[in-house]
């Protein structure tokens, strides 16, 4: 019986880890859900109880990173570990763009997903991580299809809009989601002989564009992130075709995080039930204070980080 388990019909019954199916599949299981930024075990438990599909463990939420200034790095491993011990849902953590060692440390700790994130100060202003060389899957931000395809080419298993983190302003996430979708639509209508030039224009790997054209969609899920501050914002991003939502500063910077987290989970599932979203929004108190992007100096725009 055991032998038949190893060889059957000439097929080797070999166990494979870190395949595309396993890495991308993990993100597919998160679809329709909300991934919440948390900075300690207590927040992680609130997020889990509210129905978060995963938590992102970090030292400061983006709005505090903005306020604090200086260099933002990978979270203290003690925080990540504390969060991993507190909840049974997946735990993600952020590494700086191009910081091979931060990413390897998070991999060694066994986090479930790594965000190579522009929210942290980049460690490399030219190169991103070769994500395909890791066992742990990665999520990366993108503003357009070129960026999306480059990250997929490097091995990202999940995408998200960059938006403008820590601003409570949804405008950039909307722009990035619409842009990627419009470019995918355009690509699917192209003739095969037009793809190479499109790859040149977008700065995108040709083979990835070919795959996207054939499938009519991205090969990985694309979540909304960077500026989601209300249940209506989350629903808007779902309406625009996001596969799910990351909420950073929005939850634990609101008046009643528990209620807010619950509301945003429901609004994401029932994103076309406007009566419900109205009802959910009614008793939430004040959302985080937002920032007008046009008043944000170029140097403070996190979305410009990444190449």
Partner 1 sequence: MATIGVLGLQGAISEHVKQIEATGQKAVIVKQTDQLAELDGLILPGGESTTMRKLMDRYGFMEPILQFSKQGKPIFGTCAGMVLLAKKVSGSDTAHLQLIDIEVWRNAFGRQRESFEVNIDIKNLAQPFKAIFIRAPYGERASKDVEVLAYYEGKIVAARQKNILVSAFHPELTNDIRILEQFIDMVEETLKAGV
Nearest-angstrom CA–CA distance, 85 and 261: 21
User: Is residue 94 flagged as an active site residue?
Assistant: yes
Q: Is residue 30 close enough to count as binding partner 1 by CB under 8 A? A: yes
Count of CA atoms in the C-beta half-sphere (13 A) of 186: 14
Q: CB–CB of 118/246 below 8 Å?
A: no
Nearest-angstrom CA–CA distance, 148 and 208: 10
Span interacting with partner 1, options 31-39, 172-180, 248-256, 294-302, rule CB under 8 A: 31-39
Q: Is residue 173 close enough to count as binding partner 1 by CB under 8 A? A: no
Q: Which of 19, 191, 286, 298 binds partner 1 (CB under 8 A)?
A: 19
Q: What is the DSSP letter of 119?
A: T
Q: CB–CB of 304/96 below 8 Å?
A: no
Q: Which of 36, 50, 149, 238 binds partner 1 (CB under 8 A)?
A: 50
Of 32 and 290, nearer to partner 1 (C-beta) is: 32
Span interacting with partner 1, options 28-36, 73-81, 158-166, 184-192, rule CB under 8 A: 28-36
Site string for partner 1, 58-77 (x = CB under 8 A): --------------------
Q: Is residue 48 close enough to count as binding partner 1 by CB under 8 A? A: yes
Q: Which of 8, 130, 182, 215 binds partner 1 (CB under 8 A)?
A: 8
Nearest-angstrom CA–CA distance, 128 and 140: 10
**Distance (Å) of CA 37 to CA 126, 149, 165, 217, 246:** 27, 26, 11, 28, 8
Least CB distance to partner 1 at residue 289 (A): 29
Of 86 and 202, nearer to partner 1 (C-beta) is: 86
Of 90 and 306, nearer to partner 1 (C-beta) is: 90
Our CA angle for 37, 99, 150, nearest 5°, is 85
Q: Which of 67, 85, 101, 110 binds partner 1 (CB under 8 A)?
A: 110
Q: Is residue 29 close enough to count as binding partner 1 by CB under 8 A? A: yes
Nearest-angstrom CA–CA distance, 144 and 203: 11
Nearest-angstrom CA–CA distance, 73 and 62: 12
Nearest-angstrom CA–CA distance, 283 and 281: 6
Q: Is residue 307 close enough to count as binding partner 1 by CB under 8 A? A: no
Least CB distance to partner 1 at residue 151 (A): 19
**Distance (Å) of CA 93 to CA 48, 58, 138, 151, 219:** 16, 6, 10, 18, 23
Q: Is residue 135 close enough to count as binding partner 1 by CB under 8 A? A: yes
Q: Give Rg (Cα) of the chain.
A: 20
Q: How many residues bind partner 1 (CB under 8 A)?
A: 44
Q: Which of 36, 44, 53, 235 binds partner 1 (CB under 8 A)?
A: 53
| Active-site position among 2, 15, 23, 94 | 94
Q: CB–CB of 247/34 below 8 Å?
A: yes
Positions in the binding site for partner 1 (CB under 8 A): 4-5, 8-9, 11-17, 19, 21-22, 25-26, 28-33, 48-54, 88-90, 107, 110-113, 135-137, 265-266, 269-270
| Catalytic site positions | 94
């Amino acid at each position: 019986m055991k032998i038949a388990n190893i060889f059957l019909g000439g097929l080797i019954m070999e166990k494979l880890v870190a395949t595309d199916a396993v890495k991308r599949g993990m993100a597919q299981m998160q679809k329709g859900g909300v991934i919440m930024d948390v900075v300690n075990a207590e927040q992680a438990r609130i997020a889990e109880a509210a129905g978060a599909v995963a938590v992102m463990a970090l030292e400061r939420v983006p709005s505090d990173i903005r306020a604090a200034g200086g260099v933002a790095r990978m979270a203290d491993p003690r925080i990540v570990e504390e969060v991993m011990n507190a909840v049974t849902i997946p735990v993600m953590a952020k590494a700086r763009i191009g910081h091979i060692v931060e990413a390897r440390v998070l991999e060694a700790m066994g986090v479930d997903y790594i965000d190579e994130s522009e929210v942290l100060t980049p460690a490399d202003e030219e190169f991103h991580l070769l994500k395909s060389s890791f066992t742990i899957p990665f999520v990366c931000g993108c503003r357009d299809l070129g960026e999306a395809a480059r990250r997929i080419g490097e091995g990202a298993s999940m995408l998200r809009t960059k938006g403008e983190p820590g601003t409570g302003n949804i405008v950039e996430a909307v722009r990035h989601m619409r842009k990627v979708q419009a470019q995918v639509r355009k690509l699917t209508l192209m003739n095969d002989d037009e793809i190479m030039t499109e790859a040149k224009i977008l700065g995108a790997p040709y083979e990835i564009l070919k795959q996207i054209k054939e499938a009519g969609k991205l090969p990985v899920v694309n979540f909304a992130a960077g500026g989601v501050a209300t249940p209506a914002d989350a629903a808007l991003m779902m309406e625009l075709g996001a596969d799910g939502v990351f909420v950073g500063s929005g939850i634990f910077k609101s008046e009643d995080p528990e209620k807010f987290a619950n509301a945003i989970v429901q609004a994401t599932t029932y994103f076309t039930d406007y009566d419900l979203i109205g009802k959910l929004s009614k008793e939430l108190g004040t959302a985080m204070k937002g920032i007008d992007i046009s008043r944000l100096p170029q140097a403070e725009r996190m979305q410009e980080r990444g190449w």
